[in-house]
Structure 1
C-alpha cells in the first residue's frame, strides 16, 4: 500500500516507487514531521529527533515539568502561530476575541483510494485510480476549529501532493490571515535554495544560493505568479548536479500571490513553506464553512536535478494538463502579432494565411486588434464586438476563408482587462478594480475587471461566447497584460476586502472551467505578457502557455532552460520570429530560430508575405521535421546537457525516447573562435549495450554517453544543429 498507518505509534508512512514521507502524532497529539526522502523501511524515524532543555524555548502546559519538549525546536507537520514555535508558521488565524494563538492537535484520519480533488481549484488527477489519499484532521478544541491536511500519494509518479482545508464549527466568524499549503521541517540545514527570478521578457533565470540563518523567500504580490518569481522551488545538497545528489522540488498549483521560503533556525534545522502570500490575504471563514488552500506538489530525487525535473514533466504532461490536447498533436501555428501588430485588415490576414498554408502551417491566429475601437492598446479593451469595418467582413467570413485554405483559425482575447476608453467602462466603471476616491494605477493604459464578481464574469463570458459561436474557431489565446493593484471589490464589505485577490483567482479558474466545458475541443493557450502567469495552476486549464514575449532565439535559450526545471517542453509556447529580432535587434539564422522553437509547442510569429522563396523552402522543411520528431520532443525525456549562461562555445540539450530507442540532440553555437578546439557532447538516456547510428556512423550507447559525440564545427555565429540518434535493430 502507498499509505501505511501504525496505530500503536500513530505513525503515518507515505510511499511512492522511490520516495517516502513520514509523520507522527506524538503523545501530546502534536503532528511531528519525521522523514522525507529516499524510500526505505517503514521504521519510526522520530528516533532522530533530539530532545533537550532549550533556553527561551517554552514548553506546552500539558508537557508538565518536561523542559525538553518544546515546539520551538521540534519538526512539525503543520505549525500554527501562537503555539510557542517562533519560526515561520503555516497557519495564522484571528479569532472573534482578536487573539491568534492556535493549538492544533491530532484528532483523526482517513485513508481513501484514489486522488482527492479540490472544489474550484486545480489539482493533479489520476483517472486510473492508482493513487491514494490521506486526510489527517487536527483540531483546536477550545475554538471548534478544524484543519484537514490532504495528502495525495501518486505512487508510480513519485509525486506527493499537499492541500489544506480549514473548517469553522463555532458560531462566530474566524479570519484566516496566513495559510501555507506545504510545510516540511528538516532536522538539518545544509541546503542550497534554487529559485527562478526574472522580469518581463527575461523570465525564470536560475538562482542558487546557500540557505543561511534567517528566512530566505521569493514570492509575488502582483495578483499573478509573475514574471519576477516562479512558484517552483528546489532544495538541494550543495554538491547536487544534474545527474547526482539529493534534491527536493516544490511546485504550487496556483496562479495568484504566493510565497516560498526556507528558514534556517537556531538549531540548524530547515523549515520550508509554500503557499498563498499573506500580504494581500485575509479570508473570513463563516460558521459551518470551509476554506481550501491551493494544492502543492512535492518530489524527491537522489539522482540530481535532471531526474527531479523529469518527475514533474511526466506528472504535469499526463496528470495536470487535461482534455483532448493532452495527447493529440497540436497544430503548427502562425500568429500575426509580430508580423503586423495592429496594422491589418481582412485582406492582409487572408494573404498571410494563404502563404502560411503553402508552407505547411496548420493554424492561423489573429491576435490583438480585431474588436471594438482597437488600433492601439489604449482603447477598446472590454468591448468584445468584432470590428467588421476594420476587417472588411464578418468574423465568420474570415474564418471560412481561412478554413478553405486548409487551416484552422484562432483568436486572441484579454478577458480580464478593460480600457477607460471603452463602451464597457463608460457603462460600468464600477466593474473595474479601483479604490473609491483614489485615482487608479494604470498599466499599459488599462485597468482590470473585478473577476471576483460573478456578474462581471458572466457578462464577459457571454460576450466571448457570442464571438466564438459566430465563427469556426479552434484556438483561443487568453492574455493578461498587467499586474493587479488597487485591490477593491464594490460588492464586498470592508471587513472582507482581504479576500479580493484570492477570489479573483478563483473567478479566473471558474471562467476557464466554463470555457473548457463549453468548448472541449478548443486549444487554449495561456499568456500574461508572455511568462507572467507560467505556473502549474494555469496548466490545469491551458495545456500550453506562451513562455515569454521575448522571441529572440538566443535569449530564449536561457528562458526555456530555466522553465524546464519545473515544466515540460510540451507546455512552452515558442515561435520563430523575424530578424532582426523585435526585442533585441539580434540576428540569428532561421534554422537556429527553429531549433529553439521546436523545443516547445512550435509555431511562427512573423509576416510570411515578406519571406524570400529560399526562406519559405527552409520553413517547409522545418515544419516537416518537427512533425517527424513531434512525439520524441513532446513526450520524450528532456535532458539539460549544458547551462546556456555558463558555457562559452556550445549549448546543448537532448530529447530521448523513454525506452532509449532514439534521441534528438540540439546544439546552438554561442561563440565562434577561429582555429578552435574540438567539442564533444555526452548524451544521456540511451541503452549502454545498444548500437546507435548517427549520420551514417555507428556507436555503442555507452560510448556516446561516456565519450560523447564530436560536434560539427560551426561556421557562423549562433549556428545550430539537430542530430538524430537511432538505435539499430
Structure 2
C-alpha cells in the first residue's frame, strides 16, 4: 500500500484513518480513536473470516454498494429503472481531493453512469468528523436510488457492542435505553417526516466488555436530518460492528436525472475516551460550534401563558400575567396558541395568521407596547406548516395541502399539513412571518408542528419517485429558517414539534432553543432532560417551571425542585402565576435572580452528569471555561434517609473532573472544600421532605 492509499483526519483529540482496501475497490476504516491510534495493525481487520461470504461483506468498509457487497448490508442500492440492481465501481484517484481538514474520495461506475464521492470534514475545535456522500448521474439514463445512506461507521469492539440510544413517545421523550448486540441487527427509524418522539437520530456505541461509564472509549453518531431517517447497527459475522445511517425517502426510492447530484445529510461522528458522559461533552462543544456567534446572546428568562390560559387569550388576563411575570424577574413574555383570529379551540384559525381583534380590542400593537413597557420582550407561538380545514387559507388554496387524489383526508389535532416542499407554500410562510415580525415588535418566535403527514401526496406533481416529498419538505423548512436568520437576526427562534419530535443538528443550527417535551411534570421532566443532555447542549434546552402534576411519576415536588430543574437549561415559567401565594412569588424571584447570576456557566460550561434520575440523589455539574466557577444542580428523587422523623446523614454526591489540589468556596453556606474532598467524599445535601433540590455555586480560590 502506497502512502497515497491512506488518509488521516485529525480533530482536536482524535484520529480518523481511512485506507483503500487491498481486496477490492472500496475504502476501509483502519483507526478511530485518540491520537496515535493509527499506528500498529488495524483493530478492524477481519480479513480471512469470509467463509461463504465475500471479502467485501466482511470488510470495515466506509461506504459500499450492493453489487460489491451482496450479503451483509450495503449503503447504496442503485439501478437503471427496469434493470438489475447493483453498482460495481472503481476508485478514481484523479478526482480525489485532500486538504488538512477535509477528504473527498471518488468512485465511478462508468457502465451504470454513477459517480460517488465520499466526503469528510474534521470540525475545528471539536472531536467531530462529518461524513456525507454525493451521488452524481454521469450517464445518459436516469437512475433509481433505492438506498443512499450518508455513511457507514465501523466500531472496534471485542465482545459485542453496548448500544445507548434515546427512546420514548409523546411526553416521554429522550429516555436513556441500553442494548447489548452480539449478533444480528438493530434499527431505529422514523417515517413521520420529522425525527419523531420514538427515537432520536443519535447513537452511542461501546465495547460490551467494558463498563458503561467511566474511562470507557465511546463512539457516537448523530444524523443531521429533519425528515425520515434510519440508523442501522449490524453485529456482523467475524465480530465487526457496523453502523449505517441516512434518510428514508417517502416514496421508497428516488430518481436521479442525468447530470444531477444528490447530496445526502451529514452524519456527525464523535469519539470520547471518557464514556457516555465524555461523549456528551463532545456533542455539547459541537453544538456550541453550530450556534456560532449567537452563543454570545443571553438566553432570556421566559414566561409563556399557555398553561395559564390555554386558548382563552385576551389582553386583560395576558397583561395581568405579564405584570406578575415582570415582577418575578422574567425578561420575555410569550403568548402561545390562541392569539390569532378563529382560534378559540383547536378546530380553526391555523393558516390565517392575523391577531384576533376581539382578543386585543385596543389593537395588538397597543398590547405589545404594554408588555414591553414592563421591561420584557414579546413573543408569539406559530405553527406555519399546519392549516385548519375551516380557515380562509384552505378555502383559497386547497391544493397546498398534502393529499392523495380521490382518497379521504385524515385529521390529526383537527388540522391538515401544508406541503412545505412547494415553493409557493414556502413563499407564503416567509411572507406571513415577514409581515408579523416587521409589522409588530416581536422578538421571539416559537415554531411548533403538531402532526405528521398522513396522506402524503402531491397530485399533479409527476411520478412519485421524482417528487422526493420528504427531502422537499425538509428543504422548505430549512429555507424558511434560514430566511428568518438572515432577515430577522434579532428574533429568537424556538423549535418545537409536539414537544421533542424534531430535534437534530439541522434544526439546532438554525434555532436558538428547542422544546424537549410537552411534559413539564417535575420528576418526568428530570428524566427527559438527563437523556436530552446526553445528546444536546444545555444552551439549547428550553425548560419551564409549571404546576403540572406528574404524568408518569405523580410524586409531588417542591417549587424549588421545579426551579432547579428548569435552571439546568434555559429557564422559563409556564405556571398560572396568578394563583401563586406571595411566599411562592418571593421564592420564585429569588430563584430567577440566582439563575441570572450563573446562566453563563450553565450555557457555556463543560458538564458532568452525576448519577441518574433512577438514583435517590442525582445532579448536573457545570464548570465555567477556565474553571473559575462550578454550578451544581442537585435533586432528591427518592426516599429520604430517616428525615423528617429522625435525623439522617446528608446524601453525598461526588463531583467529577475537577482539580484535586484546588480549593473551592460555597458562599451560600460559607464552606470551603478541597477538590480531593469533592471528588472522593462528595458534596453533602441534607435532604428533607421540604428541601429536595439545590443549586450550589462553587468559586475556585
Q: TM-score range by the shorter chain?
A: over 0.9
2:317 pairs, out of 348, 352, 360, with: 348
Give the distance between the partners of 2:39 and 2:678, measured in 1 at CA. Answer: 42
Deviations 1:235-282 (CA, angstroms, capped at 9, x unpaired): 112223332211101011111111111101222221111111356442
The change in CA–CA distance for 1:585 and 1:367 in structure 2 (over 3 A counts) is farther
1:98 pairs, out of 79, 83, 102, with: 83
Q: State whether structure 2 residue 687 is matched by structure 1 residue 692.
A: no
Give the distance between the partners of 2:37 and 2:634, measured in 1 at CA. Answer: 44
Shifted more, 496-505 versus 593-602: the winner is: 496-505
Q: Is the 8 A contact 2:333 2:377 kept in 1?
A: yes
Shifted more, 196-205 versus 436-445: the winner is: 436-445
Aligned to 2:543: 574
1:514 pairs, out of 471, 479, 483, with: 483
Aligned to 2:36: 40
Aligned-pair CA distance for 1:517: 1.1
Aligned-pair CA distance for 1:445: 1.0
Q: Is the 8 A contact 1:338 1:607 kept in 2?
A: yes
Q: Which runs of 5+ in 1 are unaligned?
A: 1-5, 59-69, 114-130
1:496 pairs, out of 465, 485, 492, with: 465
Structure-to-structure mapping, 1:316-715, within 5 angstroms: 316-317=287-288, 319-323=289-293, 325-496=294-465, 499-578=468-547, 580=549, 587-645=556-614, 647=615, 649-673=616-640, 674=642, 675=646, 676-694=648-666, 695-715=669-689
Deviations 1:634-685 (CA, angstroms, capped at 9, x unpaired): 111111111112x1x2222211223222212222112243344542111123
Q: Is the 8 A contact 2:10 2:101 kept in 1?
A: no
2:203 pairs, out of 229, 233, 244, with: 233
Shifted more, 360-369 versus 272-281: the winner is: 272-281
Give the distance between the partners of 1:678 and 1:360, measured in 2 at CA. Answer: 32
Structure-to-structure mapping, 1:161-310, within 5 angstroms: 161-186=130-155, 188=157, 190-238=160-208, 239-277=210-248, 280-310=251-281
Aligned-pair CA distance for 1:585: 6.2
Q: Is the 8 A contact 1:243 1:303 kept in 2?
A: yes
Aligned-pair CA distance for 1:726: 1.6
Aligned-pair CA distance for 1:43: 4.0
Q: Is the 8 A contact 1:552 1:586 kept in 2?
A: no
Deviations 1:174-210 (CA, angstroms, capped at 9, x unpaired): 1222111120234656211111100001001111111
Q: Which runs of 5+ in 2 are unaligned?
A: none
Give the distance between the partners of 2:366 and 2:597, measured in 1 at CA. Answer: 33
Give the distance between the partners of 1:511 and 1:487, measured in 2 at CA. Answer: 21
Shifted more, 26-35 versus 157-166: the winner is: 26-35
Q: State whether structure 2 residue 21 is matched by structure 1 residue 26.
A: yes
Q: Is the 8 A contact 2:494 2:515 kept in 1?
A: yes
Give the distance between the partners of 1:678 and 1:402, measured in 2 at CA. Answer: 45
Q: Is the 8 A contact 1:488 1:497 kept in 2?
A: no
Q: Is the 8 A contact 1:550 1:583 kept in 2?
A: no
Q: Is the 8 A contact 1:579 1:585 kept in 2?
A: no
Give the distance between the partners of 1:536 and 1:186, measured in 2 at CA. Answer: 22
Q: CA RMSD in A?
A: 2.1
Structure-to-structure mapping, 1:67-146, within 5 angstroms: 70-108=55-93, 110-111=96-97, 132-146=101-115
The change in CA–CA distance for 1:545 and 1:186 in structure 2 (over 3 A counts) is closer
Q: Is the 8 A contact 2:130 2:269 kept in 1?
A: yes
Give the distance between the partners of 2:229 and 2:44, measured in 1 at CA. Answer: 32
3-state SS of 1:521 partner? coil
Q: Is the 8 A contact 1:79 1:85 kept in 2?
A: no
Shifted more, 240-249 versus 144-153: the winner is: 240-249
Q: Is the 8 A contact 1:457 1:511 kept in 2?
A: yes
Q: Is the 8 A contact 2:524 2:550 kept in 1?
A: no
Give the distance between the partners of 2:609 and 2:550, measured in 1 at CA. Answer: 25
Shifted more, 236-245 versus 10-19: the winner is: 236-245
Aligned to 1:11: 6
Q: Is the 8 A contact 2:26 2:63 kept in 1?
A: no
Structure-to-structure mapping, 1:42-57, within 5 angstroms: 42-43=38-39, 45=41, 49-52=45-48, 54-57=50-53
Give the distance between the partners of 1:525 and 1:153, measured in 2 at CA. Answer: 28
Q: Is the 8 A contact 1:353 1:364 kept in 2?
A: yes
Aligned-pair CA distance for 1:584: 7.0
TM-score (norm 2): 0.94
Give the distance between the partners of 2:43 and 2:277, measured in 1 at CA. Answer: 32
Aligned-pair CA distance for 1:529: 1.1
The change in CA–CA distance for 1:710 and 1:81 in structure 2 (over 3 A counts) is same
Give the distance between the partners of 1:449 and 1:278, measured in 2 at CA. Answer: 18
The change in CA–CA distance for 1:719 and 1:52 in structure 2 (over 3 A counts) is closer
Aligned-pair CA distance for 1:502: 1.6
Q: State whether structure 2 residue 156 is matched by structure 1 residue 156.
A: no
The change in CA–CA distance for 1:41 and 1:682 in structure 2 (over 3 A counts) is closer
Give the distance between the partners of 2:236 and 2:695, measured in 1 at CA. Answer: 48
3-state SS of 2:173 partner? strand
Give the distance between the partners of 2:356 and 2:49, measured in 1 at CA. Answer: 74
Q: Is the 8 A contact 1:154 1:160 kept in 2?
A: yes
3-state SS of 1:602 partner? strand
The change in CA–CA distance for 1:42 and 1:264 in structure 2 (over 3 A counts) is closer
Give the distance between the partners of 1:629 and 1:455, measured in 2 at CA. Answer: 45
The change in CA–CA distance for 1:12 and 1:45 in structure 2 (over 3 A counts) is farther
Aligned to 2:698: 725
Aligned-pair CA distance for 1:525: 0.3
Aligned-pair CA distance for 1:112: 5.7
Shifted more, 28-37 versus 246-255: the winner is: 28-37
The change in CA–CA distance for 1:80 and 1:623 in structure 2 (over 3 A counts) is same
Deviations 1:567-611 (CA, angstroms, capped at 9, x unpaired): 011111101112546897653211111000001110101222222
